[in-house]
Structure 1
Amino acid sequence: MLRVIGAGLPRTGTMTLKRALETLLGAPCHHMSEVFADLDRQAPGFLAAARGEGADWDGLLGGYAAAVDWPASAFHTELAAAYPEAVVVLSRRDSFDTWWRSCNATIFTGMDTGEYATPEWTAMIAAIWDKTFEGADRADRDAVEAAYDRYHERVRATVAPDRLVEFTTGAGWEPLCGALGLPVPAEPFPYLNTTKEWHERTGNVPPGGIGAESDGSRGAG
Structure 2
Amino acid sequence: MDIIGAGLGRTGTTSLKQALDILGFGPVYHTKEIFRDPRRLADWEAVVHGGEQDWDRIFDGYRSTVDWPGAAYWKELSDYYPKAQVILTTRNPQTWYASCRNTIFVSYRREFVWRILLPLMRIPLLAADKRLRNFRQVFDAIFRRHFGNRPIDDQATAVSVFQEHIERVRAEIAPDRLLEYQVTQGWEPLCEFLGVPVPDEPFPHENDRGAWKRFTRSHVLRGLRKIAARPLRGPRGEGRRRPTGTAQWHTPGEGDT
TM-score range, shorter chain: 0.7 to 0.9
Contact 2:101 2:153 in 1 (8 A): no
**TM-score, normalised via structure 2 length:** 0.72
Structure 1 residue 57 corresponds to structure 2 residue 55: yes
Residue matched to 1:77: 75
Q: Which moved more, 1:79-88 or 1:22-31?
A: 22-31
- Residue type of the alignment partner of 1:189: F
Counterpart residue number, 1:217: none
* CA RMSD after TM alignment: 2.0
**1:143 Cα deviation (Å)?**
1.9
The equivalent of 1:12 in structure 2 is: 11
Measured in 1, the distance between the counterparts of 2:153 and 2:106 equals 12
Residue 98 of structure 1 deviates from its aligned partner by 0.6
Instruction: Could you list the structure 1 runs, at least 4 aligned residues long, displaced by more than 6 angstroms after superposition.
Output: none
Deviation of the 1:26 alpha carbon:
5.1
Q: Percent identity?
A: 39
| Alignment partner, residue 87 of structure 1 | 85
What residue is the counterpart of 2:98 in the other structure? 101
Alpha-carbon offset, residue 32 of structure 1: 0.2
The question of whether the paired residues in 2 share the 8 Å contact of 1:132 and 1:151 is answered with yes
Deviation at 1:4, TM superposition (A): 0.4
Partner of 2:30: 31
Q: Where does residue 146 of structure 2 map in the other structure?
A: 132
Supply the distance in 2 between the matched residues of 1:123 and 1:198 (Cα, whole angstroms). Answer: 20
**With CA pairs under 8 Å and 6+ residues apart, which has the higher RCO, 1 or 2?**
1
Aligned counterpart, 1:167:
181
Uncovered stretches (5+) of structure 1, i.e. residues with no partner: 205-221
Matched residues, number: 201
The one-character-per-residue Cα deviations of 1:70-95 (angstroms, maximum 9, x if unpaired) are: 001111111111111111000011x1
Greater Cα radius of gyration, structure 1 or 2: 2
Distance 1:44 1:3 in 2: 24
The separation in 2 between residues aligned to 1:7 and 1:22, in whole angstroms, is 17
Question: Retained in 2: the 8 A contact 1:91–1:169?
Answer: yes
**C-alpha deviation, 1:10, in angstroms:** 0.6
Report the 3-state secondary structure (helix = DSSP H, G, I; strand = E; otherwise coil) of the residue aligned with 1:165. strand
Q: Distance in 1 between matches of 2:96 and 2:187?
A: 22
Contact 1:177-1:183 within 8 A present in 2 as well:
yes
Distance 2:78 2:55 in 1: 11
Which of 193, 202, 209 is the aligned partner of 1:188?
A: 202
2:42 is aligned with 1:44: yes
- C-alpha distance in 2, partners of 1:200/1:110? 17
CA distance in 1, matches of 2:47, 2:89: 22
The separation in 2 between residues aligned to 1:26 and 1:67, in whole angstroms, is: 10
Separation (CA, whole Å) in 2 of partners of 1:134 and 1:121: 18
Matching residue of 1:212: none
**Matched AA of 1:120:** N
Task: Identify the range of structure 1 (117-126 vs 84-93) with the bigger mean alpha-carbon deviation.
Answer: 117-126
Question: What displacement does 1:110 show?
Answer: 5.6
Distance 1:102 1:161, change over 3 A: same
State the distance in 2 between where 1:136 and 1:153 align.
Answer: 18
1:55 aligned partner, one-letter code: Q
CA distance in 2, matches of 1:133, 1:110: 15
Deviation at 1:44, TM superposition (A): 2.2
Please say if residues 136 and 147 of structure 1, whose CA atoms lie closer than 8 Å, have aligned partners that are also in contact.
Answer: no
Q: Which amino acid aligns with 2:84?
A: A
What's the CA shift string for 1:94-124, capped at 9, x where partnerless? x111101111122223687552694432221
Distance, in Å, in 1 between the alignment partners of 2:172 and 2:48 is 18
Deviates more, 1:76-85 or 1:191-200: 191-200
Provide the C-alpha distance between the structure 1 equivalents of 2:135 and 2:69, rounded to a whole number of angstroms.
10
